[in-house]
């Protein structure tokens, strides 16, 4: 593999000049630049990113932190991961996986060994223990999720409260009144998963404002729990609407609606867009917008990195005068109902 020295020799310039061409940070005379570029092509030269990292004290790597347990509740986790990787790469950053059981330890080690320039945290919970090392740490972090206290880091997520309100507004617009809200299991709520609580708060709050009648059910994610929770609701015609936020019921609900011959129940809920896209669901859904969250997360992190005093340097002297940390709420939108009939015809 060619090194910068090989290129310099081939182009009959100094290594500095080759470097200037590669980084693009310095003007190089067109004629010289062309000689260098030609040599680069001829030798198939690529900058060794490790060496560059050492020289610049920028690893161009972001650490993606997510833990094991919750991911079974989030089959759409890979959507976030892929989107994050995509955006990071578009900006020249790699994504490295920090997914051990001991996330806090992972973060501390990554900080100490300087393997990453920044962190992205998924599956954020209230009082997330991972925030502590990050707040002391020397590199920026961004949360996908919105705990009450996100001091010291930027955070982005769907506006789950607004999503809950939107769902209720849809119901209200149909003149319906009596609403069953199907949420995640209590076990998930107890982990402190921020979205579970926020959606529910939106639903219940808006219902109260509109004088509507909401009852919340926490529904397990297994076959048995789902049947047990939903069947009585679907069999009781006094329910006028069903609002849900529980991915596990999504593929099953359509069949249950058919089985119970439910005809006059309005159904609307939050679900990952890939589900809505592929499933031809017979009801409206609200998009969780994972790609948007990912895009904004990466963007906020890059922004911090651009402002930071380049790596480990400049850490002495006057305190860096940090820009206030952000909390970005993504506005939820409705996805139109898929028409089963159309689906069949379109083939």
Distance CA 328, CA 297 (A): 9
Segment interacting with a second copy (CB under 8 A) among 30-38, 74-82, 141-149, 156-164: 74-82
CB-based contact 200:243 (threshold 8 Å): no
> 15 or 327: whose CB is closer to DNA?
15
CB-based contact 120:298 (threshold 8 Å): yes
104 near a second copy, rule: CB under 8 A: no
Give the one residue of 149, 209, 278, 331 binding a second copy; rule: CB under 8 A.
278
Contact characters 137-176, a second copy, x per CB under 8 A = ----------------------------------------
Distance CA 285, CA 165 (A): 13
- Least Å from the CB of residue 331 to a second copy: 25
Instruction: Classify strands 178-183 and 213-218 as parallel, antiparallel or unpaired.
Output: parallel
344 near a second copy, rule: CB under 8 A: yes
Distance CA 59, CA 56 (A): 8
- Least Å from the CB of residue 225 to a second copy: 8
Hey, what are 15's tokens? 């290594």
CB-based contact 239:232 (threshold 8 Å): no
255 near DNA, rule: CB under 7 A: no
Which H/E stretch holds residue 51? helix 49-56
Give the one residue of 127, 149, 169, 222 binding a second copy; rule: CB under 8 A.
222
Give the one residue of 78, 174, 215, 333 binding a second copy; rule: CB under 8 A.
78
306 near DNA, rule: CB under 7 A: no
Instruction: Classify strands 266-271 and 118-121 as parallel, antiparallel or unpaired.
Output: unpaired
Residue 12: CB atoms within 10 A of its CB come to 11
Indicate the DSSP class of residue 282.
S
> 29 or 344: whose CB is closer to DNA?
29
Sheet bearing 178-183, strands edge to edge: 213-218, 178-183, 241-245, 266-271, 284-287, 334-335
> 56 or 333: whose CB is closer to a second copy?
56
Segment interacting with a second copy (CB under 8 A) among 112-120, 125-133, 139-147, 173-181: 112-120
> 29 or 344: whose CB is closer to a second copy?
344
Measured between alpha carbons, how far is residue 86 from residues 55, 138, 173 in Å? 26, 25, 39
Q: Which does 299 bind (CB under 5 to 8 A by kind): a second copy, DNA, none?
A: none
Contact characters 8-47, DNA, x per CB under 7 A = ----xxxxxxxxx-xx-xxxxx-xxx-----------xxx
> 63 or 164: whose CB is closer to a second copy?
63
Segment interacting with a second copy (CB under 8 A) among 21-29, 97-105, 296-304, 328-336: 97-105
Give the one residue of 44, 55, 173, 336 binding DNA; rule: CB under 7 A.
55
In 33-133 the beta strands, taken as DSSP E runs, fall at 61-65, 94-98, 118-121
Residue written as token pair 């651009």: 306
Distance CA 245, CA 247 (A): 7
Give the one residue of 151, 312, 322, 343 binding DNA; rule: CB under 7 A.
312
CB-based contact 229:203 (threshold 8 Å): no
> 39 or 161: whose CB is closer to a second copy?
39
Distance CA 34, CA 151 (A): 49
Contact characters 179-218, a second copy, x per CB under 8 A = ----------------------------------------
Which positions touch DNA (CB under 7 A)? 1, 3-5, 12-20, 22-23, 25-29, 31-33, 45-48, 51-52, 54-57, 312
């Amino acid at each position: 593999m060619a090194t910068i020295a090989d290129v310099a020799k081939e182009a009959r310039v100094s290594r500095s000049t080759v470097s200037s061409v590669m980084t693009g940070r310095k003007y190089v005379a067109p004629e010289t630049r062309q000689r260098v570029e030609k040599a680069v092509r001829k030798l198939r030269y690529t900058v060794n990113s490790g060496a560059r990292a050492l020289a610049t004290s920028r690893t161009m790597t972001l650490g993606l932190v997510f833990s094991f347990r919750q991911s079974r509740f989030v089959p759409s986790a890979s959507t976030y991961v892929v989107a994050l990787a995509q955006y990071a790469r578009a900006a020249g950053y790699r994504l490295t996986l920090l997914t051990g059981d001991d996330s806090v330890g992972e973060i501390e080690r990554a900080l100490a060994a300087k393997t990453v320039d920044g962190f992205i945290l998924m599956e954020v919970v209230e009082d997330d223990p991972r925030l502590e090392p990050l707040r002391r740490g020397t590199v920026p972090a961004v949360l996908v999720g919105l705990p009450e206290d996100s001091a010291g880091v930027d955070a982005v997520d769907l506006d789950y409260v607004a999503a809950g309100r939107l769902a209720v507004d849809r119901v209200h617009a149909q003149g319906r009144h009596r609403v069953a809200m199907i949420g995640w299991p209590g076990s998930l709520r107890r982990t402190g998963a921020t979205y579970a609580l926020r959606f529910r708060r939106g639903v219940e709050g808006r219902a109260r404002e509109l004088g509507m009648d909401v009852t919340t059910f926490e529904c397990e994610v297994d076959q048995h729990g789902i049947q047990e929770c939903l069947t009585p609701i679907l069999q009781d015609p006094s329910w006028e609407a069903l609002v849900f936020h529980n991915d596990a019921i999504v593929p099953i609900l359509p069949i249950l609606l058919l089985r119970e011959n439910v005809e006059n129940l309005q159904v609307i809920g939050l679900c990952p867009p890939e589900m809505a896209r592929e499933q031809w669901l017979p009801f409206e859904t609200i998009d969780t917008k994972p790609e948007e969250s990912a895009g904004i997360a990466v963007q906020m992190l890059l922004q911090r990195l651009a402002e930071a005093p380049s790596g480990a340097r400049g850490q002495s002297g006057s305190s860096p005068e940090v820009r206030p940390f952000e909390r970005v709420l993504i506005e939820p939108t409705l996805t139109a109902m898929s028409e089963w009939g159309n689906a069949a015809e379109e083939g």
